[in-house]
A and B are shown apart, each in its own frame.
Chain A
Amino acid sequence: MATTGNTAVQRKILVLGATSGIAEATCRIWATQGASLFLVARNADKLAAVSADLRARGAAFVDTAVADLDDTDSHPALLAHAVNSLGGLDVAYLAHGILGDQTRAEQEFNTAAHILHTNFMAPVSLVTWLANYFVQRRAGVIAVLSSVAGDRGRKSNYVYGSSKAGLSAFLDGLRNRIDREGVTVLTIKPGPTKTAMTSAMKGSEKFADVNAVAKAIVTAIDKRVDTLYVPFQWQPIMFVIRHIPERVFKKLNL
Chain B
Amino acid sequence: MPAAAEANEAQKRLQYDSGNSTATPQFESWGRYPTYAANVVPMHWQSDFPAVTQNLHNGVLPVGLGRSYGDVCLLKGGNLLATPAMNRILSFDPETGLLTAEAGISLAQILDFTVPRGFFLPVTPGTKYVTLGGAIANDIHGKNHHVAGTFGCHVTRFELVRSDGTVLHCSPTENEDFYSMTIGGLGLTGFIRWASLRLKPIVSRMIDYEGIQFHGIDEFLALTEASKEIEYTVSWVDCASTGKNFCRGVFMQGDHSSKRAPLKPSPEPKLVFPFDAPGFALNHLSVSAFNTVFFHKQMKKRVVTLQDYEPFFYPLDKVLHWNRMYGKRGLLQFQYAIPWDNAREGTVAILKEVAKSGLASFLAVLKAFGDVPSPGVMSFPKPGITLALDFPIKPDKSFPLFERLADMTLEFGGRLYPAKDAAMTAAQFQAFYPEWQKLARLRDPLITSSFWERVTGDQPSI
Contacts and interface: CB of A to CB of B under 8 A. Distances in A.
Q: Tell whether A pairs with B.
A: yes
Contact of B91 (A43, A56, A203): A56
Nearest to B15: A200
Interface in B1-37: 1, 6, 12-17, 20, 23, 25
A244 interface: no
Contacts of B44: 21, 196, 199
Nearest to A42: B1
A208 B456 CA distance: 41
A200 B89 contact: no
A50 B23 contact: no
B90 A52 contact: yes
A49 B88 contact: yes
Contacts of B102: 49
A59 to B, nearest CB: 12
A45 B194 CA distance: 14
A49 B17 contact: no
Interface in B396-451: none
Nearest to A41: B1
A49 B45 contact: yes
Nearest to B85: A196
A103 to B, nearest CB: 11
A205 interface: yes
A164 to B, nearest CB: 20
A201 B46 contact: no
Interface in A184-224: 196, 199-203, 205
B257 to A, nearest CB: 26
Interface in A13-44: 21, 42-43
Interface string B78-93: 0000000100111110
B16 A200 contact: yes
Contacts, number: 50
Given A42-B1, A205-B25, A196 B88 contact: no
B46 A200 contact: no
Contacts of B340: none
Contacts of A199: 13, 42, 44, 85
Nearest to B86: A49
Interface residues of B, number: 24
B246 interface: no
A200 B15 CA distance: 8
Interface string A207-248: 000000000000000000000000000000000000000000
B85 A52 contact: no
Nearest to B41: A199
A199 B41 CA distance: 9
Contacts of A117: none
Nearest to A24: B88
A53 B23 contact: no
B88 A53 contact: yes
A46 interface: yes
B46 A56 contact: no
Interface residues of A, number: 18
A57 interface: yes
B66 to A, nearest CB: 13
Nearest to B14: A200
Contacts of A56: 89-92, 113
A200 B12 contact: yes
Contact of A52 (B6, B13, B89): B89
Contacts of A21: 44
A49 B90 contact: yes
Nearest to B16: A200
Nearest to A43: B1
Contacts of A45: 45-47
Contact of B45 (A42, A46, A200): A46
A57 B13 contact: no
A55 to B, nearest CB: 8
A22 to B, nearest CB: 13
A212 to B, nearest CB: 11
A218 B91 CA distance: 25
A48 to B, nearest CB: 9
Nearest to A45: B47
B84 to A, nearest CB: 11
Nearest to B45: A46
A194 to B, nearest CB: 9
Interface in B309-327: none
B99 to A, nearest CB: 8
Contact of B113 (A43, A57, A202, A205): A57
A198 B300 CA distance: 55
A201 B13 CA distance: 9
A42, A50, A52, A199 — most chain B CB neighbours (10 Å): A199
Contacts of B113: 56-57
A42 B9 CA distance: 13
A21, A43, A56 — most chain B CB neighbours (10 Å): A56
A196 B1 CA distance: 16
A200 B1 contact: no
Interface string B239-270: 00000000000000000000000000000000
Contacts of B47: 45-46
Nearest to B89: A56
B45 to A, nearest CB: 6
A111 to B, nearest CB: 13
B97 to A, nearest CB: 13
A190 to B, nearest CB: 17
Contact of B90 (A42, A53, A200): A53
Given A52-B89, A56-B90, A196-B42, A202 B1 contact: no
Given A200-B12, A201-B16, A202-B20, A52 B91 contact: yes
24 contacts: A21-B44, A43-B6, A46-B45, A49-B45, A52-B88, A53-B90, A56-B89, A56-B90, A56-B91, A56-B92, A56-B113, A57-B89, A57-B113, A196-B42, A196-B45, A199-B42, A199-B85, A200-B14, A200-B15, A200-B16, A200-B17, A200-B20, A202-B20, A205-B25
Interface of B: 1, 6, 12-17, 20, 23, 25, 42, 44-47, 85, 88-92, 102, 113
Interface of A: 21, 42-43, 45-46, 49-50, 52-53, 56-57, 196, 199-203, 205
Given A53-B88, A199-B42, A202-B20, 7 more contacts: A46-B45, A56-B90, A56-B91, A199-B13, A200-B12, A201-B16, A202-B23
The 8 closest A-B pairs by CB, nearest first: A200-B16, A53-B88, A196-B44, A56-B89, A199-B42, A43-B1, A200-B13, A205-B25
